[in-house]
Amino acid sequence: MTTSSVPERILSFNSDRNPALLTGKYSAMRESAFRFFRGTSHLFNNDIPATSFIWESPQTWNVGDLHIENFGSFKADNRVPYFDLNDFDECILAPNLADLARLTCSVYVAADSLNLNAAEVDHLAKKLIISYASTLSLGYIRPLEQETATGIIRHFLRSVQFRKRRPFLKRFVTYRKHHIRFKKSNLHVRPIDEDTKTQIASLLTNWAEGQPDPDFFNVLDVAHRVVGTGSLGIDRFIVLVGHSLKPGKQFLLDVKRALPSTLQMRLASRQPYWSNEAERVVEVQKRMQAASPALLYPLTLPNGSYVLRELQPIEDKITLAGLIGKHKKVESLIATMGQLCAWSHLRSSGRQGSAIADELIAFGLDLDAWQQLLIDYAYAYARQVKADYTTYCQAYDDEFFKVG
């Protein structure tokens, strides 16, 4: 625990980030309590009391920053579309209730954005936890693809599966007679200096020499990629690769710097050895997901390690804005999220210190021993988030977070 104020803790945590992009993060966090929650996983992870029941739950591989907008669609390396957990920047070996507590808390924080009353959000929180526990107790694992999905997820996967790459590319790039470049008008793309562009291009070119088709990674342009909330300000690049002249014969890659998990300092359990942080992110993601996205690799530069993955037309997530007033769909979605969380913990069980499936099954069957504790904690911390958000808004409006 710390005696520093919330604004001071936020400023300290983000002190080493890119000032040009950090302004966007602070502005995004001002939008709503839920956006603030998304941008401050370090507050949540560091605020769990040392004596909390959370630390006594079984060790599993955790996302480390799980909330209801950290689920989405992608096409795996087997080219099948899936809906699953995503964003593994904070992933780590930790008590399984660390993931479930943050996910449950996010339901309470999102209540205002979804126009839910107290009784409705309590019902959703219980639905989530029961779904997680019952899925654990069965001990069976399954993927969530179009053939196995139902309800809102099946409709969502159907809506994204036929998106084509060429229209997707046109949102980002402009075609000229002798070159192809990123559009300056795209709000998610920012230009970078030539030295950085050369460095990233050289990194990919050297790495591609060991791949089956090095020409696929012919670098055409590099820029900053500006997306998300919590990761804004971290070095993240969008890379255009492929044929230099033929429209539609290009692909987009995401290259994002990997940093240590904010849960790291709170854990008594020993972590496995990783060559670098990107290796941790890639390896844990492969363990927890039913199938991994295409082109998921760790890369290394002198200033740190980076996670490489392909950007796809099918990649999308279900956002809060699309769920307002759709209570039945929200309930179905929340139950599915509980299942996905449980499947990911079961799927990665028994690996380098994580609990075996039998222990997780027993934990799920023992729901009565921890359900109310978790609900009370998630509810109380959601109230804390809203108080912290009010404090943050005042500091932001007073230009406490002015960059530069």
- The residue whose two tokens read 């209730």 is 97
Residue 247 has a pLDDT of 65
Residues 290 and 198 in one domain: yes
Residues 289 and 335 in one domain: no
Which residues, in sequence order, are CB contacts of 143 under 8 Å at separation 6+? 82, 84, 290, 291
Residue 122 has a pLDDT of 96
Buried b (16+ CB within 10 A) or exposed e, 156-183: bbeebeebebeebbeebbeeeeeebebe
Residues 52 and 119 in one domain: yes
How many residues are listed for the chain in this entry?
404
Coil vs helix vs strand at 326: coil
Q: Is residue 402 part of a domain?
A: no
Residue 295 has a pLDDT of 86
Residue 306 has a pLDDT of 95
Residues 149 and 217 in one domain: no
Residues 44 and 177 in one domain: no
Residues 13 and 152 in one domain: yes
Q: Is residue 266 part of a domain?
A: no
Residues 328 and 207 in one domain: no
| Mean pLDDT split into 10-residue runs, the chain, 404 residues | 84 91 93 96 96 97 95 82 90 97 97 92 97 97 78 79 83 83 89 92 92 89 91 92 75 94 87 95 96 89 90 80 78 93 97 96 98 98 98 96 77
Residue 404 has a pLDDT of 62
Residues 68 and 189 in one domain: no
Q: Is residue 216 part of a domain?
A: yes
Residues 11 and 82 in one domain: yes
Residues 218 and 358 in one domain: no
Residue 106 and residue 121: Cα distance in Å, rounded? 11
Sign of the four-CA dihedral 355, 357, 358, 364: positive
Residue 245 has a pLDDT of 65
Which of 74, 140, 116 shows the shortest CA–CA distance to 310? 74
What is the extent of the structural domain holding 132?
A: 6-162+319-397
Which residues, in sequence order, are CB contacts of 64 under 8 Å at separation 6+? 41, 45, 88, 89, 90, 91, 92, 94, 98, 99, 261, 262, 263
